[in-house]
Structure 1
């Protein structure tokens, strides 16, 4: 189950979450300014970003962690890559879920990107998203 503060249709994310993990996820949807603040306060990086994930530090039986998605960035990228906001949010959500599960594309040998590709294909998201992910 996903706990989301925003009133938004997120049933498509529920399906992804249930398939990727049996734990609950906190989902926070924010604007660019708020994401910039979170990124600076939590990571010391003075710029906005599209998605952040925060694994639970203490052991909580039913909660995997929190995912923060920047809706302003979602809109920009959806236009840029010519797909829907739902597809963009799905890509970011999958990416963040993998981080919550311990994957880290900055230090692994491509395992996270491979898993992302598998999930993108599984959920029948546009192939253009795979090409984009490989380029990052």
Structure 2
């Protein structure tokens, strides 16, 4: 189950993100949708990077039964900007960022792996009939 905290007016594609999540894990996930000012604060506080970003993932540091997988924070401002730039819908871009975030929760890390994150992301993009994501566009 996905626990959604929507701090915006965005109409979250709940059914699709639930399908994506359940294809990867049975654990609960917290999903927070914010604007750039809020995600910039989180990025600064947790990563010492004082700028807005598209998606942040906060996996729980320990794995216990019945505990959630972690939290994903998505910036609606980035969703809207990239959807327009790449000529697809806000909901498609949102789902791409959700996939990227959940893969980080599951331990994938494109910054240090040998392409496993990108490969899994491509697989999910095809499975859910989505346009290319940022990691795929940049590879």
- Superposition TM-score, scaled by structure 1 size: 0.92
Which of 4, 13, 16 does residue 17 from structure 2 map onto? 13
CA distance in 1, matches of 2:28, 2:107: 16
CA RMSD, Structure 1 to Structure 2 (Å): 1.6
Q: CA deviation at 1:57?
A: 1.4
Aligned partner of residue 30 in structure 2, secondary structure: strand
C-alpha offsets along residues 51-87 of structure 1, whole Å, 9 cap, x if unaligned? Answer: 0000011334231100000001100000000001111
Which of 101, 108, 111 does residue 96 from structure 1 map onto? 101
CA distance in 2, matches of 1:42, 1:132: 22
- Superposition TM-score, scaled by structure 2 size: 0.90
Q: CA deviation at 1:19?
A: 1.0
Q: CA deviation at 1:134?
A: 4.1
Which of 30, 34, 45 does residue 34 from structure 2 map onto? 30
Which of 80, 84, 89 does residue 85 from structure 2 map onto? 80
Native 8 Å contact 1:2 1:24 kept in 2: yes
Structure 1 runs not aligned, ≥5 long: none
Structure 2 runs not aligned, ≥5 long: none
C-alpha offsets along residues 75-106 of structure 1, whole Å, 9 cap, x if unaligned? Answer: 00000000011110111111111111111111
Q: Pick the structure with more helix per residue.
A: 1
